[in-house]
Chains A and B, each alone.
Chain A
Amino acid sequence: MIQHIRENRRLQGLLLIFPAMFVMVMLLVIPLTLTVITSFGQRDADGNVIYTFTLENYWRLLGFTEQGWDDLYLRILLRSLWLAVQTTVIVILMAYPLAYFIARSPEKRRNFLLFLVLVPLWTNFVIRIYAWVMILRSQGVLNSTLAATADLLNVPFQPLDLYPSQTAVLIGMVYEFLPFMILPIYTSLEKIEPSLYEAAADLYANAFRTFWRVTVPLSMPGIVAGTILTFIPVIGTFVVSDILGGRQVILVGNLVQRQFLDARNPPFGAAASIILLVMTLVLTLYYTRRFGLGEEIAAG
């Protein structure tokens, strides 16, 4: 037997990919198939799934209900998309200068700085988001600091009404996903040969031009990778919006989660998650066709 495996390269390959394939089939292909099947079903009064074939769930999501036109779910989809776009853009704008700073630091200090970026991730994600509740609430850390400052300067102060709100959700998302943008951008910036900057300088490019024509294009793979790492999870997440939105800011992730739990309508939740999946897939495909695959994802 052992001898047989040793001689058969094809068999070796199959054995090596078997664990990964097994996991993919068990945890991805089968559940996804079940989700698709469920999404064509209906619920009974007690919330059990009746397996039939109806497109009703999809029609309802797209706004065509028995009671007429209702764009509730389309608005939820758009809201999620818009929040994901906002988060991604803000995160890029914040992460780029920091990644640039780290990449240009002396080699010895870089590791330490990257370590600092990663330290917050040692704390549980839910706890970090709860911490933002303490910061943003009406008599929280932020408002009391501002109030004390305003008091010192003798200016009138109106507490900021940040928690719970959509702005709080955006802040939480930006905070959560910042490290995942910094790292890929850093990786691609760090790869740029210093001689390229010298060459640009030799050709009389000023600092701005060098940045725009040399640095940015060469760091695009990092930006693309970071964008994919941010955009996709933000669209689907529900924990941040539950905690910081006071269960009032509904994203498509919340919609899906609630249909499976509170609303006892798994078929509708399944249909919503399939729509989310298709939407994410289409956007990602378009984006990667347009800008390349973001090689940093492949950790080259």
Chain B
Amino acid sequence: MNQRRFWSALSALLIAALIGAACAAPAQAPATTGEPATGASDCPEPNPRLEVTSRQVNLFVWTEYIPQETIRCFEQVYGVRVNKDEYSSNEEMYAKLSAGGANYDLVQPTDYFVPLLIRQGLLQELDKSRLPILDSLDPNYLNLDFDPGNVYSIPYQAGTDAIIVNTAVVDPIPQSFADLWNPVYAGRLVMIDDSRAIIGATLLALGYDVNTTNPAELEEAKVKLAELARGIKLFDSDSPKTALIAGDVDLGIVWTGEAVIAKREVPSFEYIYPTEGAILWQDNYAIPKDAPNLDAAYAWLNYSMQGDVFWRMLEEFPYTNPNLAALEYAKENHPELYEEYINSNITNTPPEELQRGHRIRDVGDATPLYDRVWTEIKGG
């Protein structure tokens, strides 16, 4: 093969590679996290240890929501490989789950998505006898109206959508969602890329219900939000804290855990509960109807949420933690983390904020209205 031919052939190969690269979304196939590690026994023992014959478990979870250490330990103590696929919005999770054929064993829908998944027959009923972990969970987070009796879901973590602001550089400090429309914030805003949360905040700023199904109110919210959108520099649901810490943006609407970590890095960040009331949410674990590795799924639920494992969430993904055993364990063994958690008005949501906060609900037939507002906002 002469040189010219060689390079021609190489360019042909490149074409193929290019097409592959251009079309591939990041992480399409379930990404394996490696072979189960053996040897070091620094991992807590499962309590109780369940019978597992499956060789793997397929998680479909939010980005930045599971400590790597938890995965490593589960692989070690059960000898089961953990495959993890991630999503950055409930809508994305729903689209992939309802398309079928993905073989996930566990998903993490937010509260208002649970009724939709149930209605579409995408979930299976949980076998409570295989969930001793339920005893460790705070009853305040159980038996809520999106899934009465926790037939299909158990709580994972909870939190709020409120305002994060770098008080060192932002003046005036916004006190409400409506304040965010102040032109001095234009070009400095970051928002989670979450349609219901951001449209919800806009509805609240207008004085409407966060779950309105009135087309006129939504149309008004669209116009109002379009005004704000021009000043939004970044939509990011994966890690809005990164841009905040790096100083690309100075304020915006984010989730609990992102705010805690941003504040850890840069203490001048403050989390402001808006006067309209924050948006309250709870993420949950549920098992898809055709989950192939049920035994491993139950083992994962019990092990990953047992106190001496789940305490890690306080450190790595600090949201409001419904797991009493984990909090207890942290209090005993990692007092500084526990102190941070319990004294933070971000993770330990003040009771009056829970009182005046708003819960997003499944809006049923009005869903296309919300989706359309979001498309038109994000498209412009």
Asked if A121 contacts B235 (CB within 8 A), the reply is no
Could you tell me the distance in whole angstroms from the C-beta of A81 to the nearest C-beta in chain B? 16
Residues of the B chain whose Cβ atoms lie less than 8 Å from the Cβ of A261: 89, 91-92, 95-96
Distance, CA A72 to CA B9, complexed state (A): 42
Asked if A250 contacts B379 (CB within 8 A), the reply is yes
User: Contacting chain A: which of B11-19, B76-84, B177-185?
Assistant: B11-19
Asked if B235 contacts A76 (CB within 8 A), the reply is no
Distance, CA A259 to CA B91, complexed state (A): 10
Chain A's interface size range is 35 or more
Q: Is A233 an interface residue (CB 8 A)?
A: yes
Distance, CA A255 to CA B40, complexed state (A): 48
Asked if B368 contacts A45 (CB within 8 A), the reply is yes
Asked if A164 contacts B367 (CB within 8 A), the reply is no
Cβ < 8 Å to B, chain A residues 66-108:
70, 72-73, 75-76, 107
Distance, CA A137 to CA B367, complexed state (A): 36
Residues of the B chain whose Cβ atoms lie less than 8 Å from the Cβ of A250: 378-380
Chain B's interface size range is 35 or more
Q: Is B175 an interface residue (CB 8 A)?
A: no
Asked if B234 contacts A248 (CB within 8 A), the reply is yes
Q: Is A38 an interface residue (CB 8 A)?
A: no
Residues of the B chain whose Cβ atoms lie less than 8 Å from the Cβ of A43: 368
Assess A236 versus B22: contact at CB under 8 Å? Given A262-B92, A299-B11. yes
Residues of the B chain whose Cβ atoms lie less than 8 Å from the Cβ of A264: 91, 94-95, 367, 371
Cβ < 8 Å to A, chain B residues 133-172:
none
Asked if A263 contacts B233 (CB within 8 A), the reply is no
Q: CB < 8 Å: which of B25, B235, B246 contacts A246?
A: B235
Could you tell me the distance in whole angstroms from the C-beta of B179 to the nearest C-beta in chain A? 21
Q: CB < 8 Å: which of B10, B26, B232 contacts A248?
A: B232
Residues of the A chain whose Cβ atoms lie less than 8 Å from the Cβ of B94: 47, 264
Could you tell me the distance in whole angstroms from the C-beta of B74 to the nearest C-beta in chain A? 27
Distance, CA A139 to CA B245, complexed state (A): 10
Asked if A190 contacts B4 (CB within 8 A), the reply is yes
Distance, CA A257 to CA B12, complexed state (A): 27
Assess A183 versus B11: contact at CB under 8 Å? Given A137-B248, A190-B4, A237-B22. yes
Assess A183 versus B14: contact at CB under 8 Å? Given A233-B19, A250-B379, A262-B89. yes
Q: Is A114 an interface residue (CB 8 A)?
A: yes
Q: CB < 8 Å: which of A45, A176, A187, A247 contacts B364?
A: A45
Known: A47-B95, A47-B98. 5 other contacts (CB 8 A): A47-B371, A164-B234, A180-B14, A247-B193, A262-B92
